[in-house]
Every structure is written in structure tokens, then in C-alpha cells.
Structure 1
Amino acid sequence: MHAIAIEQQRLVWRKLPAPDSPAAGEVRIRIAWAGVNRADLMQRAGHYPPPPGVTDTPGLEISGTVAEAGPGVESLRPGDRVCALLAGGGYAEDVVVDARQVLPVPDGFGLREAAALPEVFATAWLNLFMEGRLTAGERVLLHAGASGVGTAAIQLCRAFGHPCFVTAGSDRKLEACYKLGAAGGWNRHQGSFVDAVKAWGGADVILDPVGGSYLADNQGVLNADGRLILIGLMGGRHGELDMGRMLMKRQRFIGSTLRAKPPAAKGAILDALLTHVWPRLASGEIQPLIDQTWPIDEAEIAHAHVQRDANIGKVLLSVSGEG
């Protein structure tokens, strides 16, 4: 089997040992496409190692075809076209994964489009609706609105009746967010977003991949009983917190990661997607936004594109080229 190895922070497509045969409850998938996520860049830089027992091969979401089903797997059969949420191993020709982390390709979708779904929609659903516990009409602030997670979250907010305000790094990115359904936006290069978000009405839930440098401003726009969901640290690990404001406004700060959750927890998230999101994908109400694709052996170029913050939506790697 060929897979990407990280060698002195370089991505090398070379022959590596194939994963073991699937155990009880697992399936082997022949990978067609893999999604690129910032977590992959962090792992490559040595800042986000895989959980214990997980392969060093990066890649958190894929699409492909079931090649083999382990004992006890009844819902998936060889030949099924699927997408999957992984803890690692997606930049490869084959992967073995718990069947609970696998979903069918939505009706009308090809494998290319399906690879853009698992990580971003699972992340958005988990943090908006499970951790953030959005209730009817609550307002959402989304940072990095033009990212893969951001573009998924905007569409979920629109579909489920939650006005959202986005921040992004250019007017071009903001325009893309408006087309997806964002109700307001702010170019982060124009300074603090605080006044603009306050004028918009503040936020009941904030989805934040930035962290430290945004903490004070996030707290300043968070409404009473609001929830700040931290999903990344692009702006650093430390920031200033006003605990008096937190106390008086009953604000809640929640740290959230998806990768290390056990298969049962990931399965619960994917079950929710299958029930609430997959029908909207099949109808065309929600669509993945794909920025660019590269062959798997050009993963270096794809990573550089994401590192420059040049993408609007998902970047994908073609492994087999199957559509």
C-alpha cells in the first residue's frame, strides 16, 4: 500500500505497510479522495500528534469503497460507496475504521463531493448543536467563516434558522459566506469585530478556531447565557478573561476536540448527520464547498495552499481519481 509519510516535516508518498484486516465492527475502505484539514498541518509541524494507537499517516476524512467488512458488520458490504470520519490514516490507499464512523454517500453525490463532508459537518454539528446546544432563533458568530468548517456551519445555521455573523480574511471570502447564507460579516484585517457584532445583536454561541488573541473580544460580544466553543488555537494558547463578566452574564466557555473522541461518540455525531443533514444534502439545500483538488502525491502543494489561508471551502486530495 502507498501512503503519505511525514519525514522531517515533508509529505512523502511512498510504500508503507497496509493496515491489518478489519477486526470485529470494522471495515476496510479503498480510498478515493481525502480531505485536507488544518489538523493535518498541525500534525505535520509536530503540534498535534495522533491519539495513542492511531497511525502516523495524516488524514481525518475520506471517501471510497468498502473493500472488506469485519465480523459483526451488517450495515456495510463490499462495494458500498461511503465516506468516513477518521482519527488518522486518510492520506493512503486503504484504511481500516470502526463501522460507526462510516456513512453512505448521500444520494446524488459522487465520491469527490462526499470526501468534503465528514470532518467539517461533524465538527460543525457537534459544536453548534451538541456542545453549543443552540435553541430556536439563537444567533451565532463564526470565525474563519470561509474555511471548510465555517462554510459547513453557515449552511447549518441557515437550514436550522440561526442567524450567523462571520469573520474572514478578505472581502472575497466574506462575499462567499454571504452567498451561503451568512447574515453579517467582518473582514478581520479591518481591526476588531466587536463593534460590528454588537451592532448586529451579539452572539449566543461563538464557534472559534482562533483562541487566545480573540478571547477578550469574544467575551465582549457574547450575550447573557452565551456559549463560547473553542475548537482551535490559531491565535495562541493564552488570552485575557474577565471573570466578573463571565459570572454576571452567566457565560460558558467550552473546549472541544473531535479527533480523540471514541468511536461510539463519533458514531452518535454521524447518526445525527445522517438523520438531520444527509436529507438536506440529497435535496441540494446544503452543499459542500470545494475550493481545489490535487493528486495525493502533490499533498505538499495542497498544504501550502491551506497554510496561506487561500482556500474558500475544502481542499481535497485525489487518491484513486474515482469520482
Structure 2
Amino acid sequence: MVVTPDWLAVIDDEISLWLNPNVLAQIDLDTQGIAVGSEIIYRVNSQELLQVLASCVGIAARQQGAIAIWTYYTSNVGDVPTTTPSPILRTLMNIDGDLSQKVCQDILQHPEADRILQAHGLMIGQISRQFLTAITDYVEQKLRPFTIAAVSFATTITWCEPLQNLGKRLNLPESFSAFLTSQCWHMAISAPIVVLMICWISAKLNLTLPTLPKLSQNFFKNLLQLLENQFFRLIAIAVVIILFLCWATIKVANLQNAHLNSLIPIIESYLEPYLPIAIVSLRKLIVTGLGKIFFRYPFFVKLIFGRFIR
């Protein structure tokens, strides 16, 4: 659960910072010895950021045209103001990254002017970096059913032949191999359809799917972290590239070399069972890439997010 500081709020699809001497002191304390440019210190709820983004690109009730960040300052600490103070700083951030800022002239003569400007700039950096994270999380959430369906399909298809070969090595009857082949094809067709139907029905009826036991959750979480580390990602990329070249060679090229003709099926037989694991390893990398594309080109944000963000 994201805990947002009480001096940071999203109101009417605009971001507001409510600063005072205590908040400035807290920011100074929080940022001591930390590389602010590479770490998110103050997190904002992803759903609220998506609403701000929707307003920015014109697919929400309030069509801002840009992300508005307002900063207010009061010297009184602990007192609830009877009236809303006037803003002293405003930044408009376009989806393409352009910034437009306005500063109240009086604040430039304030003794805390430098600290206020630094706090405002810090939060612009913090919030702008979280927009990409919010988009990535959103894309991952929407693509999760399709990822599970793709992994189940690839697993069934690519592991069918190795299981058949294992059955032959164990001298299992031919009827078992024939049964395994038929079941693999049935599962390859039905498993993705069942996964997508369950996700679609649960989304339409607002159902909460049962959660796994905590021990299983920790196991799968650690397994995902292992598969998504840099080493396994490089292996997954290599496997996908080699498999693609093998498939392209078989489909397009007319190889006259008998050695290569016999070598390619052997390479495929060794690499194809790893394909579902490669998809899992590259899942986050693919989703992050899609998030960057959507954030860079507002057209994709309107096209993809327009149906879901309201």
C-alpha cells in the first residue's frame, strides 16, 4: 500500500504541495546522503497519477492539457488556515516533457526561497519518474491475463515433444504417447481460452480471485526475482533470438548444407522447452518498454488508456 505524505495531495486531477518550515526540515532530513535523482522517496498512489495523466491527455472529465503541480507555503506550523493560501509556484508539465513554470514574485524575497524552490524541483523530479512507473504497472496489470495465456500455450506446445521423448526412453507404451499428444493439443487450445475467460468474468463482475497461501506467494515472488535478474534476462534474449533465427531459416532459407539441416532441429529441441521461462524472464522488460513508448507518444496513451481511465 502506497503511503503518500500528508503535505502532498492530488486534488481535481492537479498535484498540490503544502509546504511549511517543518515539511522543509523533513525533506532536508529525508534527502540527506541519498541520490535523489535515482531514487523515489515520496510515492504517490498510481491510480491517482493515472487520473492526472488522463486529464493531461484529454481523456478525463477535467481536460487540463498538461500536468499541473502547485506549491503553497505557510509559515504557520500546526494551524489549520481558515482560507486557502495563494499558490507561490506552478509548473505545467506536458506529456512530451516540456515544462512551463510561474513563480510568485513575492516568494523570491522570502528567506526560505531557496529551500522552497529546491523542494518544488525535487517533487517535480519525483512525480515525473513515477508517471512511467504508474504506466508500467497499468500495462502489466492489463497484459497479465494475456501473459499467463501465452505462457500456458507456449509451455504446452514446447514441452509436449520432450515429454514424448522421455516416455520413449522409459519404454512407456505407444498408447500413452498418443494420449499425451492429444491431451497436449487440447490443453494448448483450451488453457489460454480458460485463463482469458476467468479474467474477463472476474473483471466484469468485480470478483476477487482467491489468493495463494503466503508461503506460495513468497516462493513465486523469489522465483520471479531470480528469473528477472540480469543474467537470466540475457539468456532469455539469446534463446529468443536463436529460436527466431532457426524458425526464419527453416521458413525462408533453402539450406543445401545437410549438416545445418540436421543441426537446426537439434538446436530447436534443446531451446524450445526454455521458451516459456524466457517469456517470464522478459515480461517486465517488455512491459517497461511498452510503458516508455506510451509515455513518449501521447497517441498511444489516448488509444490504449482512453477506454479504461475515467
Fold shared, TM-score > 0.5 on shorter chain: no
Q: Which has the higher strand share?
A: 1
Larger Rg: 2
TM-score, normalised with respect to structure 1: 0.27
Q: Which has the higher helix share?
A: 2
